[in-house]
Amino acid sequence: MLNKKIEAALGDQINYELFSAYLYFGMAAAMEDLSYRGIAHWMRTQANEELFHAAKLFDYVYSRDGRVKLPAVGQVASEYKTPLEVFEIAYKHEQSVTARFNKWYELCLAEKDHVTGSFIQWFINEQIEEEDNIKTIVDRLKRIVDNPDALYKLDNELATRMLAAYVNLINTSAPGA
Ligand SMILES: [Fe+2]
Ligand SMILES: [Fe+2]
């Protein structure tokens, strides 16, 4: 049975993951409008990752006999001027997500809920990659900001992103794996 404080924290995080998905859908829409189809695809994939995170938290709450409330998801923008603006906002957003998971982990320690603490650690580790991937793209965009050819190449490269769960499935079902 989940303690009420932990249950509320996980519920709050489910809402924030859904908000994250919504944020990335808005960014995908803006990039479609500006004809950056690769970046739009990257953002759509990111939105799917966030929906997966929400589902993972949701399933965990019910596996511990908790309950989930689903308040409204916050409003997001669907207009941005440049890919750099989008990725800079995404980077700040992921840093805010990391800060939240650190806070939830501390709550788990304070409440002596080590099972949930260990569950939360998966998300903390996941955030290393989330921040790193986005920061790398921010740095590349800063370098090529006045170079349309390089921007076009990066857009094509980002069009190849696959959902992490799908990549894992391919890797584990490959011959000899
Ligand atoms: Fe997430
Ligand atoms: Fe994220």
Distance CA 144, CA 155 (A): 12
Task: Centre a 10 Å sphere on the Cβ of residue 122 and count the other Cβ atoms it contains.
Answer: 13
Q: What are the residue boundaries of the structural domains of the chain, listed by start?
A: 4-173
Distance 175 CA to ligand 1 centre (A): 31
Distance 139 CA to ligand 2 centre (A): 18
The angle at the Cα of 146, spanning 145 to 149, to the nearest 5 degrees, equals 95
Q: Which pLDDT belongs to residue 172? A: 74
Q: DSSP per residue over 118-160, as a string? A: HHHHHHHHHHHHHHHHHHHHHHHHHHTTT-HHHHHHHHHHHTT
Query: Which ligand minimizes its atom distance to the CA of 130?
Result: 2
Confirm if 49 and 19 have CB atoms less than 8 A apart.
no
Q: Enter the CATH code of domain 4-173.
A: 1.20.1260.10
The structure's pTM equals 0.93
Q: Which pLDDT belongs to residue 162? A: 85
Distance 67 CA to ligand 2 centre (A): 23
Distance 170 CA to ligand 1 centre (A): 22
Distance CA 117, CA 130 (A): 20
Mean pLDDT for the stretch of residues 45-57: 97
pLDDT of 177 above 80: no
pLDDT band at 176 (very low <50, low <70, confident <90, very high): low
pLDDT for 120-136, tens place per residue?
A: 999 999 999 999 999 99
Residue ranges in the chain assigned as alpha helix (H): 4-33, 37-63, 83-110, 114-143, 148-158, 164-173
Query: Which ligand minimizes its atom distance to the CA of 132?
Result: 2
